[in-house]
Amino acid sequence: MSGVLKPFEYLEPETVEEAIRTLAKYGTQAKVLAGGTDLVALMKQRKINSQYIVFIKGIPGLDNIQYSPGDDLKIGALSTHQSIASSPIIRDKFGLLATACNEIATPQIRNMATIGGNICMAGPSQDSIPPLLALEANLKLVGLQGERIVPINEFIIAPFQTVLEEAELLTEIHIATLPPHSDGCYRWVTKMSSVDETLVGVAVLMTLDSTASTCQDIKIAIGSVAPTPMRTRRAEELLRGKKIEGNLIEKAAQTAAEETMPRSRADYRRRMSGILVNRAINEVWQKIRQARG
């Protein structure tokens, strides 16, 4: 009966190593539970039927947020969206990620749901992923063979599918310190529904030269407009190395819209993609210029 959980065995490992051994032992019969906001709903809908639930939220050290100048920002996979959204360091240095995490669902869900779970769900409209794509985040995965670092653009391979192996956990997200004269933003439009799914989400990260007039580098990432969140590489190339001005921004925004591959409401999503990219680039441009004084 939908809405009622089927019986399962609840397991609570105390370390990452114990969790990995547990996942290796039970294989496809086991699912990882962290915040549970997605998993429990899918279990109630009988879309997931697992005999073993491996609860990892109690493993110490996986919810830390660490940063020092010149080093990577390191976000534990069990950090909640609320802890990221309210982190002074992330708000100051990586504001587009704080904005996206603050937009997710409701305050109750933001206080439960983890960024690691959001990434591993790998849905087309996960709000945290476009900012992480723009920031070129790297993911630390730990398994039976040790640890490996996977760029986030290589982690998601299809809707709701990742390169994560059965006996492997995402433990940490690494984001490099931004160059001087860099800033970013996240803009979105929400589909009015029972779950307030993001219809289009745009993340822009830009680095200007010392005069704040020429684009040295730019990353534009969009969610909910393709099978997986995507970078709009042709639009980026139009701006990279060029002097920023209104007509060029409009051309780049139109190119970004043309790169999208919406699965539904295609015309509207493409139009909104162009509008949001245009607004986001202009917003970031102005922020960097104002910071320069």
What CA–CA distances, in Å, run from 111 to 67, 83, 169, 174, 282?
A: 22, 8, 21, 21, 32
**pLDDT for res 192:** 59
Strand order in the sheet with 198-208: 182-190, 198-208, 215-223, 230-231
Angle between helices 266-292 and 246-259 (to 10 degrees): 140
pLDDT along the chain (293 residues), means of 10: 72 97 94 79 70 93 93 96 97 97 88 94 93 98 97 97 96 97 95 70 97 96 97 98 96 98 94 98 96 81
Write out the E strands in the chain: 9-11, 30-33, 52-55, 65-66, 73-76, 138-143, 146-151, 156-158, 161-162, 168-175, 182-190, 198-208, 215-223, 230-231
Residue 178 is predicted with a pLDDT of 96
Strands of 138-143's sheet, edge to edge? 65-66, 73-76, 168-175, 138-143, 146-151
Number of other residues whose CB lies within 10 A of the CB of residue 275:
16
> Among residues 86, 47, 89, 49, which one has the least CA distance to residue 72?
89
Which residue is listed with tokens 């005999």? 51
What pLDDT is attached to residue 4?
64
Write out the two tokens for 23: 């996942």
pLDDT at 1: 47
Domains of the chain: 9-55 (3.30.43.10), 65-174 (3.30.465.10), 187-292 (3.30.390.50)
Query: From the CB of residue 1, how many other CB atoms can be counted at a distance below 10 Å?
Result: 6
